[in-house]
Amino acid sequence: MDKLQSLRAAQFVPDQPKPELESLGLQPAELELALGQGTNTVALLQFGKTNDAGQVYARVYGQNTIVTVASDLVAPWRAPVNDFRDSHLLVLTRPVDTIEVRGVENFSVERQTNDTWRVMPLNFPATLRW
């Protein structure tokens, strides 16, 4: 985000002749980055193709002005969407001692003092893989 804040227009693309958004990669945009506050979109930035000078075409959605910006500042945002997701459902603050399962048959998996696991109340060994 800090690099995004330092993003500056390197060059303005002339309005005449009217640039074709599709040829610049802006319609549809190759990358859109929405900045929001609560449920409101504050700004929608669109980024397109990289030109011969290593600059990326960009614009603020809804405005006609097209600029080029440094491609290295935009590059991290072109990562696959899963790179931005937190795959952890929760952060554990201490080791798990018991896992309770509730369903047709309720049972638990409990850590033993020797770091093995047992399925209770059936009392048979279990192997857990994290």
Span 56-83, pLDDT tens digits: 999 999 888 999 999 998 988 888 888 8
Neighbours of 120 (CB within 10 A): 14
**Is position 15 within any domain?**
yes
If you average pLDDT over every residue of the chain, what do you get? 90
Q: Are 126 and 109 in contact (CB under 8 A)?
A: yes
Total count of domains within the chain: 2
Residue with tokens 């399962």: 101
Task: Note the pLDDT of residue 128.
Answer: 78
Task: Note the pLDDT of residue 130.
Answer: 67
Do 26 and 67 have their domain in common? yes
The number of CA neighbours under 13 Å toward the Cβ of 61 is 16
**Is position 11 within any domain?**
yes
Q: What is the pTM of this model?
A: 0.64
pLDDT tier for residue 87 given thresholds of 50, 70 and 90: confident
Task: Note the pLDDT of residue 62.
Answer: 87
Do 63 and 125 have their domain in common? no
Domain limits at 23? 2-79
**Is position 85 within any domain?**
no
**Is position 86 within any domain?**
no
Do 15 and 74 have their domain in common? yes
Range 105-129 average pLDDT: 92
Do 98 and 58 have their domain in common? no
Do 55 and 113 have their domain in common? no
**Would you state the torsion angle of the CA atoms of residues 10, 25, 62, 73, taken in this order, to the nearest 10 degrees?**
-40
Do 130 and 98 have their domain in common? yes
**Is position 32 within any domain?**
yes
Do 15 and 59 have their domain in common? yes
Range 86-95 average pLDDT: 85
**Is position 87 within any domain?**
no
**Is position 124 within any domain?**
yes
Do 67 and 21 have their domain in common? yes
Whole-angstrom distance, CA of residue 129 vs CA of residue 113: 18
Task: Note the pLDDT of residue 102.
Answer: 94
